[in-house]
Amino acid sequence: MRQLSLDNLRTFVSVVELGGFAKAGDMLGRSQPAISLQIKKLEEQLGRRLFEKIGQRQVVNQDGQALLQHAKAMLDINDDIFRQFEQSSLRGRLRLGIPSEFATTLLPSIVGEFSKQYPDVALEVTSALSRSLLDDKKRRDFDLVLALVHPDQQTQGEVVLEDELIWVGDANKAIATNKVALVLAPDGCVYRSRVIEKLKQQTTSWRITYTNADLYGLIAAIQQGLGITALARSSLPNALQEIRHKSLPHLGKIKICLFNQDTQHPQISRALADFIMARLKS
């Protein structure tokens, strides 16, 4: 009797959802050749190619899309069986501190999956500026913190990604080139500090037209034509677009770091950290 490998199916789903063999390997802890071999075995069993090469990328084809839904359903059944029969000690409360822009763009893609895998874990999320989250007194209020760190700054956190800072706005709104209008978070925001620092290094005039610590507030102001802002590329929301203009200076890089300080439930904190790292690197 022919039988598909659930391990190969899980690898296939990871490749599709993360957008590449290397990224799937990073999440699953396997080399890219090992990932490629699993996909090859799956294709040999089915007698169909599941990906086609477009440029330098392997893109899932029509047969792969057809397999994807069945594969996910089989994996869900497998995982449900284990959840039903295992006596898990992973329960309790996990307190996550995260900048608001990442809470908006990152959490929706992981909360459901994390809660499904750890149904007895209550996730408590607080959004604030990175400086506030990393304050020596407030840091004790969290088990896991995602925060932005200057690229030259030494940190005890785990560097997830060194990301590019980009100018962000509404592509349908014109940019005032004579005096750049800025929509920024309050003092203490890494983005705000970098924007002002870079603009002061050149002759372009600028002014701050609106201040709000919440990303939704910034998005609303930008869509009303009040100005532009800066964000890490990985936190760019769907409602906004990257803005390029010769009057806007290059903003450089930023480190996105995880600070795991949960000594009571280290396994749960590590699991959530892995979820976050996989999404940021995808």
The string of pLDDT tens digits covering residues 252-262 is 999 999 998 76
> How many whole angstroms separate alpha carbon 231 and alpha carbon 12?
32
120-151 pLDDT, tens per residue? 888 899 998 898 888 878 878 898 999 999 88
Helix orientation angle between 21-28 and 6-18, rounded to the nearest 10 degrees = 120
Sorted by where each begins, the domain ranges of the chain are 6-85, 91-282
> How many whole angstroms separate alpha carbon 31 and alpha carbon 219?
40
In single-letter form, the type of residue at position 276 comes to I
Q: What is the CATH number of domain 6-85?
A: 1.10.10.10
54-92 pLDDT, tens per residue? 877 888 899 989 999 999 999 888 877 776 665 455 677
3-state SS of the chain?
CCCCCHHHHHHHHHHHHHCCHHHHHHHHCCCHHHHHHHHHHHHHHHCCCCEEEECCEEEECHHHHHHHHHHHHHHHHHHHHHHHHCCCCCCEEEEEEECHHHHHHCHHHCHHHHHHHCCCEEEEEEECCHHHHCCCCHHHHCCEEEEEECCCCCCCCEEEEEEEEEEEECCCCCCCCCCEEEEECCCCCHHHHHHHHHHHCCCCCEEEEEECCCHHHHHHHHHCCCCEEEEEHHHCCCCCEECCCCCCCCCCEEEEEEEECCCCCHHHHHHHHHHHHHHHHC
- Tokens 């490749």 correspond to 15
Confidence of residue 53 (pLDDT cuts 50, 70, 90): confident
Fold topology of 91-282: D-Maltodextrin-Binding Protein; domain 2 (3.40.190)
